[in-house]
Structure 1
Amino acid sequence: MKRFQPQPGFVVQAYRYALDPNAAQEAALRSHCGAARAAYNWAVGWVTASWWQRKAEVTYGVAEDALTPWRPWSLPSLRKTFNEAKKTDPRFADWWEENSKEAYNTGLANASAAFDNYAKSKNGKRKGARMGAPRFKVKRKARLACRFTTGAIRVDAGGRHVTLPRLGTIRTHEPTGSLLTRVQDGTARILSATVRHERGRWFASFQVEVKRDLIRVSRPEVAVGIDLGVKTLVVMADSTGEIRTVANPRHYDGALRVLRRASRTVSRRQGPDRRTGRKPSKRWEKANAARNKVHHRVANLRTDALHKLTTAVSAEYGTVVVEDLNVVGMLRNRRVARRIADAGFGEIRRQLDYKTRWRHGTRTIVADRWYPSSKTCSGCGAVKAKLPLHVRTYECDVCGLVIDRDDNAALNLVALAAVGTTGTGVAGDRDTPALSKPRGADRKTRATHPRRTTGAGRAGGATLPHQRQEEARDRPQAEALTLW
């Protein structure tokens, strides 16, 4: 699909509203999401059928040029073949007309993207962890979602209803005036809408092209370094020397007692059993809904707190320095995994990234993952070879500085804004140039040589207290795509 390019002065953002559908509308919503899942499974089966056929033919000794050709997985090819098959395929022939075409297009587009990501991952052209071949979506586990790109997609004039293709007019749980006013003024245009069921209710998210005037921050000349932690969620040190801390609200820990009680109640009820085909009892469904309500409340509280924090930071400072944290690796530490997940480190960086772009004259600097911000002295620049996680106070062996570990890391981060680097050099070596490929640098922190200690500058980058960084090895790129 062709990516939408906004006009100059316009940005693409989402407006999300909770829905209050009636029984018939909720059944239609579930039918559309089920149609998207069915189309996705059809596409996966149709493409992989040629893979299995080729694999079997190889065992029969069929020549390479005589093998069954690969079936294409581009969206136009899948859409053309599906439109021909849906009228005769017994899996769709009886009910495909009940849903909008956008429901099936959602599943086909997701399947096409899944095959593209798999092929790029096999060829080494996609960053991140290796991706496996697309698999069928199970009804009980698949997320309910459907995207609409054409048809009647609008926010009604009353400000309490939205209209979607084939679904009709659905009442919203909250007013839609924030989007309706912009649409009526001509400063916003709805591009698409996505309905999704999460946290126990339905939501409609509108992708909108909005004319947004860049707003200046309150202190554009001030930079801030943000160090994330578990005991203290955020330690912010700005270029004026001021240090502020934000306590970790720990929403999940606060609800853990209630959650344990609700989980014990669920365990005493007769729940579902897929091995025997046993259906859950009404009492189990009621208890499970009460337990899910606790989870949903924790998630909503966390989302609200993170949005308030990132909005305040992006509205005040002209330069924000954040860390490139290996959150996946940090979650492998079972001692702090629950609290790290509850803090939402990745969400903080994601929100700061796009919120700072909405402000005039602001920028975000991402510190290198291997920069020892906690081990580097913020006063003289000396680097400790080792600094255990249980040591919460930094004591410099060279200049005698004694400072809180998190405060020291935040001061080192804000110094990157003045240095103009992201910390890709080897820590402790002031004259070491920045490497073009940070992952080619030495993973071990070297202690500063005594003759280089005095006046040593700060290298760039950042690490997080409580973070256990593991050695990353670059995987060799495959020369060609090997599907099987």
Structure 2
Amino acid sequence: MKTFRPQPGFVVQAYRYALDPNAAQEQALCSHCGAARAAYNWAVGWVTASWWQRRAEETYGVCEEELTEWRPWSLPSLRKAFNETKHTDPGFAGWWAENSKEAYSTGLANASAAFDNYAKSKNGKRKGARMGAPRFKAKRKARLSCRFTTGTIRVEQDGRHVTLPRLGTLRTHEPALKLLTRVQAGTARILSATVRHERGRWLVSFQVEVKRDLERVARPNVAVGIDLGVKTLAVMADSTGEVRTVPNPGHYDRARGQLRRASRIVSRRQGPDRRTGRKPSKRWEKANTALGKVHHRVANLREDALHKLTTAVAAEYGTVVAEDLNVAGMLKNRRLARRIADAGFGEIRRQLDYKTGQRHATRLVVANRWYPSSKTCSGCGAVKAKLLLHVRTYECDACHLVIDRDHNAALNLAALAAAAVTGTGVAGDQGTTQAVSKPRGADQKTRATRPRRKAEAGRAGGAALPHQRQTEARDRTQAEALTLW
């Protein structure tokens, strides 16, 4: 699979449109996506066959030099092996010529990437959760998707049709004039197109290399701090002292009634059963489609709201300060997981990252995860040792400031922008060895609450325990309270 690197002044972005194919075109789309799945399964079986063969030979005492050779899983190797066997393989002979070669290339490329990820994860070279070996894709569960990188890929002159290899001209559900105008002006070049079926609708996504100049923001000398929350989606405080509140739309909560009724209807229909091989009834398929439409509408509303918020922020302020939240850890809270997922904290951060760097002349400052934005007083800088989540009003013990908790956190984040440039020595400065003097509760230190540990510390004459010394060493090495992107 080719990797496109944009030229200076160019960015790679996607233009996605819904399709309105007729019956014959929809059948061709399903055939191409099925061919991609079949090629993926062939590649997985072809590579893993050598693994099982070697394992069987080892049980018979075959020496290492005489074992079956490992089959490579690079994309050129898979393509070469597939082209040699597609004419005689019973799974492809007789029908492989009905689809574009790009369909099979899509499956082979996905299989190659899956094996690469598995190997890197097993060797410890890939971040994230441990990945297992690639498995076969089931027809009833696999996502219908196919990518085209060569051939005729264009938007027609009327802006209401797109042309793809072997599929011909397909009508779009909405005009594609924005992409067509850029292509005609010479400021965009289509690199590839991917068709996908999601919740009852076919979509086409164009990967486009676009010439984009940075746009000047409305208030270049103003910095804003954004504090995300559940009750209120975002509280924005800028360096001029202005505070704005963005309410949480709660799209999922508002649609829970519809989802409950639609799910009840689905549960009362005869659905599929793997144990008995029972196929779903027509009424179950119809009810399940209606349930998917409700979920799709909620996802679209959430995406639209987040895009409008991040676009407005990136286009107005010269510096944006956001938090590096541990969203995966926050989702483990069973009382707030649904609302945190509905708010989309990670999506807001992702959109701000590319919109500030590729579209506007905006600087993005990401506060460190351990920076105590809520515990720090925005008036005098004092830090509370502990601030429970249900306490929504911040009361400073030093200067007696009383302010809303989220407003206080947003003001502290906005102050980080000036601290990062001037280096005033407050929390968030680059190059400082200690963020701010804080008693406890605002860093990574864990408190020993079990009586046994307290007794051991007492018997040791007040000496620090080994785990306490390790924690203190970690605290000393945490030099910066923010990261500049």
Residues 1:178 and 2:196 aligned together: no
- 8 Å contact kept, 1:416–1:460: no
- 8 Å contact kept, 1:427–1:445: no
Q: Which amino acid aligns with 1:65?
A: E
In the alignment, which residue of structure 1 is the partner of 2:397? 397
Moved more, 381-390 or 158-167: 381-390
User: Equivalent pairs: percent with the same residue?
Assistant: 83
SS of the residue 1:189 aligns to: strand
User: Displacement, 1:442?
Assistant: 6.2
Moved more, 371-380 or 296-305: 371-380
SS of the residue 1:87 aligns to: coil
Q: Which runs of 5+ in 2 are unaligned?
A: 436-441, 448-478
- Mapped to 1, the partners of 2:428 and 2:29 lie a distance apart of 58
TM-score (norm 2): 0.86
Moved more, 388-397 or 221-230: 388-397
- 8 Å contact kept, 2:194–2:206: yes
CA displacement, residues 423-458 of structure 1 (integer Å, 9 cap, x when unaligned) = 9x99799995279xxxxx962289xxxxxxxxxxx9
Q: Residues 95 and 235 from structure 1, CA distance in 2 versus in 1: closer, same or farther, beyond 3 angstroms?
A: same
Q: Residues 257 and 153 from structure 1, CA distance in 2 versus in 1: closer, same or farther, beyond 3 angstroms?
A: same
In the alignment, which residue of structure 2 is the partner of 1:244? 244
In the alignment, which residue of structure 1 is the partner of 2:316? 316
Q: Counterparts of 1:277-288 in structure 2 under 5 Å?
A: 277-288=277-288
- 8 Å contact kept, 1:383–1:428: no
SS of the residue 2:377 aligns to: coil
**Residue among 454, 460, 463 paired with 2:481:** 460
Q: Residues 71 and 348 from structure 1, CA distance in 2 versus in 1: closer, same or farther, beyond 3 angstroms?
A: same
In the alignment, which residue of structure 2 is the partner of 1:118? 118
- Structure showing greater radius of gyration is 2
- Mapped to 2, the partners of 1:61 and 1:415 lie a distance apart of 69
SS of the residue 1:370 aligns to: coil
- Mapped to 2, the partners of 1:363 and 1:445 lie a distance apart of 34
Q: Counterparts of 1:358-437 in structure 2 under 5 Å?
A: 358-420=358-420, 433=433
User: Displacement, 1:33?
Assistant: 0.8
Q: Residues 96 and 430 from structure 1, CA distance in 2 versus in 1: closer, same or farther, beyond 3 angstroms?
A: closer
TM-score (norm 1): 0.87
User: Displacement, 1:220?
Assistant: 1.1
- 8 Å contact kept, 2:420–2:429: no
In the alignment, which residue of structure 1 is the partner of 2:226? 226
- Mapped to 1, the partners of 2:431 and 2:107 lie a distance apart of 53
Q: Residues 225 and 276 from structure 1, CA distance in 2 versus in 1: closer, same or farther, beyond 3 angstroms?
A: same
Q: Which amino acid aligns with 2:133?
A: A
- 8 Å contact kept, 1:372–1:445: no
Q: Which amino acid aligns with 1:51?
A: W
In the alignment, which residue of structure 2 is the partner of 1:341? 341
- 8 Å contact kept, 1:394–1:408: yes
SS of the residue 2:125 aligns to: coil
In the alignment, which residue of structure 2 is the partner of 1:206? 206
Residues 1:140 and 2:161 aligned together: no
In the alignment, which residue of structure 2 is the partner of 1:474? none
- Mapped to 2, the partners of 1:145 and 1:172 lie a distance apart of 17
SS of the residue 1:294 aligns to: helix
- 8 Å contact kept, 1:383–1:427: no
Q: Counterparts of 1:2-151 in structure 2 under 5 Å?
A: 2-151=2-151
Superposed structure 1 runs of 4+ greater than 4 Å apart: 425-432
Residues 1:444 and 2:445 aligned together: yes
- Mapped to 1, the partners of 2:72 and 2:21 lie a distance apart of 39
CA displacement, residues 135-173 of structure 1 (integer Å, 9 cap, x when unaligned) = 211111111111100000000011100000000000000
SS of the residue 2:31 aligns to: helix
In the alignment, which residue of structure 1 is the partner of 2:467? none
- Mapped to 2, the partners of 1:166 and 1:103 lie a distance apart of 10
Q: Which amino acid aligns with 1:388?
A: L
In the alignment, which residue of structure 1 is the partner of 2:192? 192
In the alignment, which residue of structure 2 is the partner of 1:465? none
Q: Residues 91 and 70 from structure 1, CA distance in 2 versus in 1: closer, same or farther, beyond 3 angstroms?
A: same
- Mapped to 2, the partners of 1:28 and 1:304 lie a distance apart of 31
Aligned length: 444
SS of the residue 2:36 aligns to: helix
Q: Which amino acid aligns with 1:255?
A: A
- 8 Å contact kept, 1:147–1:192: yes
- 8 Å contact kept, 2:367–2:428: no
User: Displacement, 1:211?
Assistant: 1.5
User: Displacement, 1:461?
Assistant: 4.2
- Mapped to 2, the partners of 1:64 and 1:372 lie a distance apart of 58
Q: Residues 429 and 273 from structure 1, CA distance in 2 versus in 1: closer, same or farther, beyond 3 angstroms?
A: same
In the alignment, which residue of structure 2 is the partner of 1:481? none
SS of the residue 1:420 aligns to: helix
- Mapped to 1, the partners of 2:157 and 2:369 lie a distance apart of 49
CA displacement, residues 12-36 of structure 1 (integer Å, 9 cap, x when unaligned) = 1111111000011111111111111
- Mapped to 1, the partners of 2:158 and 2:429 lie a distance apart of 64
Q: Which amino acid aligns with 1:460?
A: A
Q: Which amino acid aligns with 2:397?
A: D
Moved more, 96-105 or 290-299: 290-299
- 8 Å contact kept, 1:163–1:169: yes
CA displacement, residues 53-100 of structure 1 (integer Å, 9 cap, x when unaligned) = 222333333333333222111111111111111111111112111111
Q: Counterparts of 1:346-361 in structure 2 under 5 Å?
A: 346-361=346-361
- 8 Å contact kept, 1:145–1:197: yes
Q: Which has the higher helix share?
A: 2
- Mapped to 2, the partners of 1:372 and 1:103 lie a distance apart of 51
Higher RCO (C-alpha 8 Å, min separation 6):
1
- Mapped to 2, the partners of 1:371 and 1:65 lie a distance apart of 57
Q: Which runs of 5+ in 1 are unaligned?
A: 436-440, 447-457, 463-484
Q: Which amino acid aligns with 1:275?
A: R
SS of the residue 1:357 aligns to: helix
- 8 Å contact kept, 1:371–1:459: no
Q: Counterparts of 1:250-329 in structure 2 under 5 Å?
A: 250-329=250-329
Q: Which amino acid aligns with 1:92?
A: F
